[in-house]
Homo-oligomer: A and B are copies of this chain.
């Protein structure tokens, strides 16, 4: 029962994560090494299929070598 608005947020967030990863020239598997998150899960995150938790977000930021709050610096829909 995820709303259309929420889905839009997750899509924007995922696209942002993907952008950051590609900016660093990392593959899904390479990033997964750096943050202990399964590559398949990162793939799902980037596609807006998962509503990640704060701890996962912090882990992800570690792998991307950025501050966690930068992961939320995406343009919100609406």
Contacts and interface: CB of A to CB of B under 8 A. Distances in A.
Interface of A: 6, 9-10, 13, 51-55, 57-58, 67-73, 76
Please state the number of chain copies in the assembly.
2
25 contacts: A6-B55, A9-B54, A9-B55, A9-B58, A10-B54, A10-B55, A51-B53, A51-B55, A52-B54, A53-B53, A53-B54, A54-B54, A54-B57, A54-B72, A57-B72, A58-B76, A67-B72, A68-B72, A68-B76, A69-B69, A69-B70, A69-B71, A69-B72, A69-B73, A72-B72
A71 B73 CA distance: 11
| Majority-rule SS of A interface residues | helix
